Amino acid sequence: MSWDDLDDEHSQSLSSSVGSRRPHSDSTEDQEEVKRHRLFADQVCKDKGLPEGSLAMFSELEDPKLMMISLMGMLIASSEAQQWVKVHEYIGSQDYESVMKDCLQICLTAPNLTAYACAKHHPSIFNLPSSAFQNAELSNKISVFIKENLTTQQSIMKQKISNSITNKANISVLARSLMGPGPKITKAHWARFTFLRSCFINFQMVIEESKAVREAVGDEGTNDEEQLDTECTWNMTNFWKYVDCLMQEIIKEACNEGTPVECQKFINTFAPFSPQSSHLRLKCPNRFYHNALKLDLLQFPAEDDILTPPFERIMIEWHKVLQGTMAWA
C-alpha cells in the first residue's frame, strides 16, 4: 500500500468520524425528548399510585428491545408478587387445613411414613405450591402445622387402637374407626393396622419391663447405666417413637435380604423422600404386615368368622401415591 493510499484512508476515516457527530440542534431535541419522557413517566407514577421515580430508568431507554425486556421483567415480577399473595392466603385458609388433615390421615395409614418428609419433596400431593418451601416463613408455617396436626392425630389413633384391644374389636371395626367414612379400605390397610395393633400390644409389655427395671434400680440403688438409658425411658407417650425404631429394624432386615442391585435401586428412587424409605418394596416388610394380619384375625375374630375388606384396590390417585409408591404394599 502506498503513502497516497494511506492518506486517502485516513481522510475517509476522519470524514466518517465527523459525519457521525450529531448537530447541536439534534442533541437539543434529544434532550427535550428525554425530558418529555421523564415528565410523562412521573405522571404515570402519580396516576397509578407508584413510588416517585419508579419509571425513571425505563423512560430513558431508547432501544425498543431493551424496553421490551424491561417491561417483561416488570410483568414477571408483578406476577410472582401476586402468586406469593395467593400462596400466603391459601396457607392461612380453611381449605388448606382441610386438605392437609386429609393427606396426613392417609399418611398415618402407612407406619413407615412416620417421618413425613414427603410434603416438601412431593408438594403436589398435598396441594401445596412448590414455591412455598422457598420462603422460610411459609416453610416453617407448614412444618409447624404438620407437626401439631400429626401429634393430635397420632394421639387419637393410639387411643382408638387401645380401645380396640380393650373391646376386642375385629380388624374391620378397627379399620373403619381409624379411617373414618371417607377413604376406601383395602386388605393393605388391614395389614398395616393389625401391624400397629401388634406393636401397641408389644409396647405395653415393653412399658411393663421398663417399670420392673425402675423398681429394681430403686431397690438395689445401682444398675447398668446403659441399660437405664435404653430401658427405663419408655412410657406410653413414646409409642410412635417405638414404631419408628421397629421400622428401622425391619428396614435393616429388608436390606440384608435384598441384593446389592435392588438396594441401590430403591435408595436412588426413594432416598430423597425420606431416610426411612430406602427399601420400600422389598419382601421383608410385606411379610411383617401380613403375618400381623394372620395373628390378629386369630386373636380378634369376627362373630361370623367371615371378614372381607370392602375394596380390593385404591382408586384415588394421590391415595395410590402415598399408600402404594411411598408406602409398603
Mean pLDDT of 310-314: 61
- Domain encompassing residue 218: 158-325
Q: Is the pLDDT of residue 316 over 70?
A: no
Question: Cell triple for residue 131?
Answer: 414455591
Q: Is the pLDDT of residue 4 over 50?
A: no
- Would residue 179 count as lying in a domain? yes
- Would residue 235 count as lying in a domain? yes
Percent of the chain with pLDDT over 70: 65
How many domains are contained in the chain? 1
Question: Cell triple for residue 212?
Answer: 420392673
User: pLDDT class for 189, splitting at 50, 70, 90?
Assistant: confident
What is the predicted pLDDT for the residue at 168? 92
Contact assessment for residue 296 and residue 187, using Cβ atoms and an 8 Å cutoff: no
- The 10 Å CB-count burial string (b at 16+, else e) for 222-231 is ebeeeeeeeb
- CB under 8 Å, gap of 24 or more: what pairs does 121-129 form? 121/272, 121/273, 122/273, 122/321, 122/326, 125/318, 125/321, 125/322, 126/99, 126/100, 127/96, 127/99, 127/103, 129/83, 129/87, 129/90
Separation CA 15–CA 22 (nearest Å):
13
What is the predicted pLDDT for the residue at 290? 75
What confidence tens digit (pLDDT) does each residue in 42-67 have? Answer: 888 888 888 888 888 878 777 777 77
**Average pLDDT over the chain, rounded to an integer:** 72
- Would residue 115 count as lying in a domain? no
What is the predicted pLDDT for the residue at 216? 75
Q: Is the pLDDT of residue 285 over 70?
A: no
Cα torsion for 201, 204, 210, 212, to the nearest 10°?
Answer: -100
User: pLDDT class for 19, splitting at 50, 70, 90?
Assistant: very low
What confidence tens digit (pLDDT) does each residue in 22-46 have? Answer: 444 557 777 788 788 888 888 888 8
Contact assessment for residue 116 and residue 150, using Cβ atoms and an 8 Å cutoff: yes
User: pLDDT class for 265, splitting at 50, 70, 90?
Assistant: low
What confidence tens digit (pLDDT) does each residue in 207-256 have? Answer: 888 788 777 766 655 555 555 454 457 888 889 888 888 877 776 766 66
What is the predicted pLDDT for the residue at 11? 46
What confidence tens digit (pLDDT) does each residue in 145-177 have? Answer: 888 888 888 899 999 999 999 999 999 899 889
- Would residue 307 count as lying in a domain? yes
Burial group, residue 329, by CB count within 10 angstroms (0-12, 13-18, 19+): middle
Q: Please work out, in degrees rounded to the nearest 5, the angle formed at the alpha carbon of residue 84 by the alpha carbons of 78 and 90.
A: 140
DSSP conformation class of 224: -
Q: Is the pLDDT of residue 96 over 90?
A: no
- Would residue 90 count as lying in a domain? no
What is the predicted pLDDT for the residue at 164? 95
- Would residue 281 count as lying in a domain? yes
- Would residue 285 count as lying in a domain? yes
Whole-structure pTM value: 0.64
- Would residue 136 count as lying in a domain? no
